[in-house]
Chain A
Amino acid sequence: MSSYHLDHLQHLETEAIHIMREVAGEFERPALLFSGGKDSICLLRLAEKAFRPSELPLPLLNVDTGHHFPELNEFRDRRSAQLGAKLIVRTVEDAIAKGIATPAPGEVSRNRLQIPTLLAAIEEFQFDCCIGGARRDEEKARAKERFFSFRDSFGQWDPKNQRPEIWNLYNGRLNPGENMRVFPLSNWTEMDVWEYIQRERLEVPSIYFSHQRRCVRRGGQWLPVSALVPPKPSEEVCDLVVRVRTIGDIISTGCVESPAMTVADIISEIAAARVTERGSRADDKASEAAMEDRKKAGYF
């Protein structure tokens, strides 16, 4: 009997593959959101497992805020090409130029502006479903999310009125203009993601590993110094050995001091960690409901 046993990663894997295939079966024009980050790297492997030996039956979509780490975009383009997948990139820069996204006076962050950019891309390609790599353990508004998360014709999430989701039966029915966001990694934790990366020997962008970087102390975290984040004279600047735990924009992603050079090192580091991965993201610290508010507006 024991040979017919799946360990917890294999359970999570088969659950996610089932969801990917439901998407391919139920939607006309699905897309997969691929940022190059660790969660979407796992998503791509799961897509290979779900659909090979066929070509992936859906394009990859990325919203480029213009504030990405360069290592991330390089990885994104290379990995998409390796898989022979079609990659669609839409930029916030371009959305601003076209008047789709309008920054508030003095608004530096591209966080809010990626929402209209994404919604415009969905509209442009008439996507009826986008697969994303969000996990419920990331944040407490995400902890409320369904696998199949319904969005109305404005792209909005209504957390008080979600469709019941029972067993593994997903209701993917939509009326015109409506949209589904699907999260196959819902039940994965940060640890599961790294264990899967290790088991599958997946390549990840170099910034997840320990490297030397000039950082500035701001808002209780170490932000990478860049053209977008020049240190003020009063601020403390240090050359540190760091890595990133979660990748957001270069202006809001805190670096953590770490000697982790391998995936195994990262796994031991997370096992001993005393703060969550989102603890290093300024965009979530803004308020207790920051994520919920962004999701209601159409964010992932």
Chain B
Amino acid sequence: MSISALSYRPVDILRFNTCGSVDDGKSTLIGRLLYDSKSLMEDQIEALERSADITGGGQINLANLTDGLRAEREQGITIDVAYRYFATPRRKFIIADTPGHVQYTRNMVTGASSANLSIILVDARLGVIEQSRRHTAIAALLRIPHLVVAINKMDLVGWSEERFLEIRAQFEAFLPRLDIKDVKFIPLSALNGDNVVEPSPHTPWYAGPTLLGHLETVHIASDFNLTGFRLPVQWVNRPNSPTDATLHDFRGFSGQIAGGIVRTGQKLLAFPSGIVTTVKQIWTYDGVVHEAFCPQSVTLVLEHDIDISRGSMLVALDQLPGSSCDLQAEVCWMHTRPLQVGKKYFLKHTSHTVQVVVTELIDKLNMSTLESEPAPTALAVNDIGEIKLRAARPLVFDGYSTNRLTGSFILIEPGTNATVAAGMLRAPHDVFKPDAADYVI
């Protein structure tokens, strides 16, 4: 947007996360990826060697690069997501190394929610187990567009192609039940670095790319939707300047565009008032622009003085969202106190928080079969299910499958303020129908 930005060479970012069961080798794999791609600095390697002398009997533990908490290093497990950043000449990468332990599934969801690609690790000795299915189901639910199944510890199964194909078949048996488009299988050893950055001499039967080769070349489509303009208002920009006449009457609505494109002169519908107005000016710190798009942060000045505040939403007239108190969503339950019908929660959606009550539990995903089981009595921690909610005020939303930003929410438990669920809204039954009589001022 700024002039200086024009001369800048755009660089792609790929955000990916590791998932899979505890001890499958996720952290070791990230360590290996950083080490073999020469992304580690001398002082980081020194620190790694120092801790090997004290705790590892002289063996470097690559997992220590991301297991940054004392409790993690003591137990040799990952508790919370670690974020790492590295770049090759082809791409920038943001890695979220997430925990495999079932107790920390909420942290896996945290790390996965922003990913364009998930690497699911499987221990070649164990094959597909419940946690592999759970994490794959979560990745599918979050609609992460690309999946890599990394069949790890191939060194411990004698580099057997048969074993590789067997595990691949285990995956392919349940993948059709999930909505995942792009899946790649790679045999590797995170510990020794086979097929991570360098091709392995042990897998002459594998013709595909190394893990890094795949990460560098996989096509990444934008996560952001360029149709159906949406601006959830975060903050009303009111300078109230008594001295500066131009600022005295300035009233702008600041937010990050959550979908589509906006232009000056365009007509917008303002929720919740339902009133149509026109974009007078698109204000940014770098100057006024005539057009802005998702996910830019802007401040809109409108023609009419209507009641708009934090939590309001400005939308384009051509593609209207749903507006309803009755909601249906898939949720990932993350708290040890189970979800109960009849209980009230706060729901945060875009910049808007409302009270909701859970009215119905529709179904729950069986993690062994990945089939839905109807009418469960509760959703316990780490369960995935579909629910109905009733909100105290209407929510202006899209289905998660059309717009991640206006189709997602979190549930917060009153009192403890714990974030207890991640929710993905089903598309609205009807889009909002403006009432022709009072719709324009």
Task: State the CA gap A165–B239 with chains docked (Å).
Answer: 32
Contacting residues of chain B (399-413) with chain A, CB-CB under 8 angstroms: 404-405, 408-410, 412
Contacting residues of chain A (247-299) with chain B, CB-CB under 8 angstroms: 273-276, 278-279, 288-289, 292
Select from chain B the residue with minimum beta-carbon distance to A171.
B419
B423 to chain A, nearest CB (A): 9
B80 within 8 A of A: yes
A41 to chain B, nearest CB (A): 15
Q: Looking at the complex, which one of B41, B80, B94, B293 makes contact with A4 (CB distance below 8 Å)?
A: B293
A98 within 8 A of B: no
Q: Which residues of A contact B81 (CB under 8 A)?
A: 144
Task: State the CA gap A145–B69 with chains docked (Å).
Answer: 11
Q: Which residues of B contact A86 (CB under 8 A)?
A: none
In the bound complex, do residue A199 and residue B84 qualify as a contact, i.e. CB atoms below 8 Å apart? no
Q: Which residues of B contact A32 (CB under 8 A)?
A: none
Q: A8-B13, A53-B250, A143-B82 are in contact. Are A199 and B237 (CB under 8 A)?
A: no
- Interface-lining segment among B107-115, B173-181, B188-196, B358-366: B107-115
Q: Which residues of A contact B417 (CB under 8 A)?
A: 171, 173-175
Task: Give A205-224 as 1s and 0s: 1 = Cβ < 8 Å from B's Cβ atoms.
Answer: 00000000000000000000
In the bound complex, do residue B8 and residue A9 qualify as a contact, i.e. CB atoms below 8 Å apart? yes
Task: State the CA gap A104–B333 with chains docked (Å).
Answer: 47
Q: A9-B8, A14-B297, A275-B41 are in contact. Are A159 and B412 (CB under 8 A)?
A: no
In the bound complex, do residue A6 and residue B295 qualify as a contact, i.e. CB atoms below 8 Å apart? yes
Q: A7-B8, A173-B417 are in contact. Are A164 and B106 (CB under 8 A)?
A: yes
B210 to chain A, nearest CB (A): 24
Q: A18-B297, A173-B346, A199-B8 are in contact. Are A166 and B82 (CB under 8 A)?
A: no
In the bound complex, do residue A22 and residue B110 qualify as a contact, i.e. CB atoms below 8 Å apart? no
Select from chain B the residue with minimum beta-carbon distance to A195.
B8
Contacting residues of chain A (140-196) with chain B, CB-CB under 8 angstroms: 140-144, 146, 159-160, 162-169, 171, 173-175, 186-187, 189
Task: State the CA gap A146–B47 with chains docked (Å).
Answer: 24
A141 to chain B, nearest CB (A): 5
In the bound complex, do residue A144 and residue B80 qualify as a contact, i.e. CB atoms below 8 Å apart? yes
In the bound complex, do residue A166 and residue B113 qualify as a contact, i.e. CB atoms below 8 Å apart? yes
Task: Give B302-339 as 1s and 0s: 1 = Cβ < 8 Å from A's Cβ atoms.
Answer: 00000000100000000000000000000000100000
Select from chain A the residue with minimum beta-carbon distance to B108.
A164
In the bound complex, do residue A54 and residue B82 qualify as a contact, i.e. CB atoms below 8 Å apart? no
Q: Which residues of B contact A232 (CB under 8 A)?
A: none
B22 to chain A, nearest CB (A): 16
A213 to chain B, nearest CB (A): 22
In the bound complex, do residue B261 and residue A4 qualify as a contact, i.e. CB atoms below 8 Å apart? yes
Task: State the CA gap A28–B286 with chains docked (Å).
Answer: 28
B219 within 8 A of A: no
In the bound complex, do residue A140 and residue B82 qualify as a contact, i.e. CB atoms below 8 Å apart? yes
Number of interface residues of A (CB under 8 A): 64
B116 to chain A, nearest CB (A): 12
Task: State the CA gap A50–B284 with chains docked (Å).
Answer: 9
Task: State the CA gap A160–B256 with chains docked (Å).
Answer: 31
Q: Looking at the complex, which one of A10, A17, A163 makes contact with B418 (CB distance below 8 Å)?
A: A163
Select from chain B the residue with minimum beta-carbon distance to A5.
B10
In the bound complex, do residue B293 and residue A21 qualify as a contact, i.e. CB atoms below 8 Å apart? no
Q: Which residues of B contact A11 (CB under 8 A)?
A: 13, 295
Q: Which residues of B contact A22 (CB under 8 A)?
A: 234, 351
Task: State the CA gap A17–B296 with chains docked (Å).
Answer: 9
A36 to chain B, nearest CB (A): 21
Number of interface residues of B (CB under 8 A): 77
B369 within 8 A of A: no
In the bound complex, do residue A136 and residue B83 qualify as a contact, i.e. CB atoms below 8 Å apart? yes
Contacting residues of chain B (87-111) with chain A, CB-CB under 8 angstroms: 92, 94, 106-107, 109-110
In the bound complex, do residue B5 and residue A10 qualify as a contact, i.e. CB atoms below 8 Å apart? yes
Q: Looking at the complex, which one of B11, B42, B51, B296 makes contact with A7 (CB distance below 8 Å)?
A: B11
A28 to chain B, nearest CB (A): 13
Q: Which residues of B contact A167 (CB under 8 A)?
A: 113-114, 404-405, 408, 422
Contacting residues of chain A (7-32) with chain B, CB-CB under 8 angstroms: 7-11, 13-15, 17-18, 21-22, 24-25
Q: A199-B5, A273-B41 are in contact. Are A164 and B239 (CB under 8 A)?
A: no
A55 within 8 A of B: yes
A77 within 8 A of B: no
Q: Which residues of A contact B42 (CB under 8 A)?
A: 274-275, 279
Task: State the CA gap A263–B255 with chains docked (Å).
Answer: 31
B375 within 8 A of A: no
Q: Which residues of A contact B41 (CB under 8 A)?
A: 273-276, 279
B44 within 8 A of A: yes
Q: Looking at the complex, which one of A25, A136, A276 makes contact with B235 (CB distance below 8 Å)?
A: A25
Task: State the CA gap A11–B11 with chains docked (Å).
Answer: 11
B254 within 8 A of A: yes
B137 within 8 A of A: no
6 nearest CB pairs, A to B: A140-B68, A279-B43, A17-B297, A21-B234, A173-B417, A7-B10
23 A-B pairs with CB atoms under 8 Å apart are A4-B226, A4-B261, A6-B295, A8-B13, A15-B295, A21-B297, A22-B234, A53-B239, A53-B247, A141-B68, A143-B68, A144-B69, A160-B69, A164-B410, A166-B113, A166-B408, A169-B348, A173-B346, A174-B417, A186-B83, A187-B83, A201-B4, A292-B70
12 more CB-based (< 8 A) A-B contacts, given A15-B295, A141-B68:
A10-B1, A17-B297, A18-B297, A22-B351, A24-B234, A54-B238, A140-B65, A146-B110, A166-B422, A167-B114, A171-B348, A199-B2
Q: Using a CB–CB distance below 8 Å, which chain A residues touch chain B?
A: 1, 4-11, 13-15, 17-18, 21-22, 24-25, 48-55, 136-137, 139-144, 146, 159-160, 162-169, 171, 173-175, 186-187, 189, 199-201, 273-276, 278-279, 288-289, 292
